[in-house]
Amino acid sequence: MNGTVGRIPLTIRTILSLVVSSDWPIHQLDVKNAFLHGTLNEVVYRQQPPGFVDPARPNYVFKLNKALYGLKQAPRAWYSRFQTFITSIGFRASKCDNSLVIYTHGMDVAYLLLYVDDIILTASSHHLLQHIIGSLQQEFAMTDLGNLHYFLGVSAKRSSSSLFLSQAKYAAEILDKANMSSCNPCQTPIEVHSKLSAQDGPPVADPTLYRSLAGALQYLTLTRPDIAHAV
């Protein structure tokens, strides 16, 4: 997971730079109930859910043919199903990022980024873009949200010659999560002369919040490279 998070900013920046320099259209799509599209390759049983218990066979269990939310296998099953379909229509998987698939045919080029149920799609022409969207909608229940405007905590505003990215809302959520919304800002978000040592008190009892904030700040460097050294 950490490796994936580390690659996301680089992949997004690369694709968006290409979109701006080549003046390509870019859309975002939302997959409805993504995990329910996954087909299970192994045998999985589950208890009868409350309210749907067969009174004649209360001790029976269900054998699942499709993935359900909450299953450990659900994300992998959905990803596998999507990859199988997207490669069948001419895309190939990227060797550097599992979330990226690439389509090339003659002069036609398209890039698709999949993050769970969010899709970012760009293509070298509007016709190719709409053709791919149509193929996806025939296979999966999804909504075309139009031009890219907000994805994965990043706001995107496009002009005739640029694409402005902002994570203001995401940054505010990080501060709120860390109970630092009322703190004063500082010019350098790091102690210049480090005072940390192994003897600076006992370890944190629950490091979950610290780790979560560290990961969130790492993702914030997508639009705030000035904090990269501190992070």
List, in sequence order, the alpha helices (H) in the chain.
2-22, 74-88, 126-139, 168-177, 208-220
Partners of 47 in the β-ladder: 61
Residue spans per domain, the chain? 2-42+69-148, 168-194+202-227
pLDDT, tens digit, 9 for 90 and up, residues 34-50: 777 777 777 777 788 78
The top-level CATH class assigned to 2-42+69-148 is alpha beta
Nearest to 174 by CA among 214, 115, 207, 224: 214
**pLDDT truncated to tens, each residue of the chain (231 aa)?**
334 444 567 888 889 999 999 999 999 999 988 777 777 777 777 788 788 888 888 888 888 777 776 677 778 888 888 999 999 999 999 988 888 999 999 999 999 999 888 999 999 999 999 999 999 999 999 999 999 998 888 888 988 888 898 999 999 999 999 889 998 887 776 777 766 666 667 777 788 988 999 899 988 988 888 888 888
Nearest to 61 by CA among 51, 53, 71: 53
List, in sequence order, the alpha helices (H) in 95-191.
126-139, 168-177
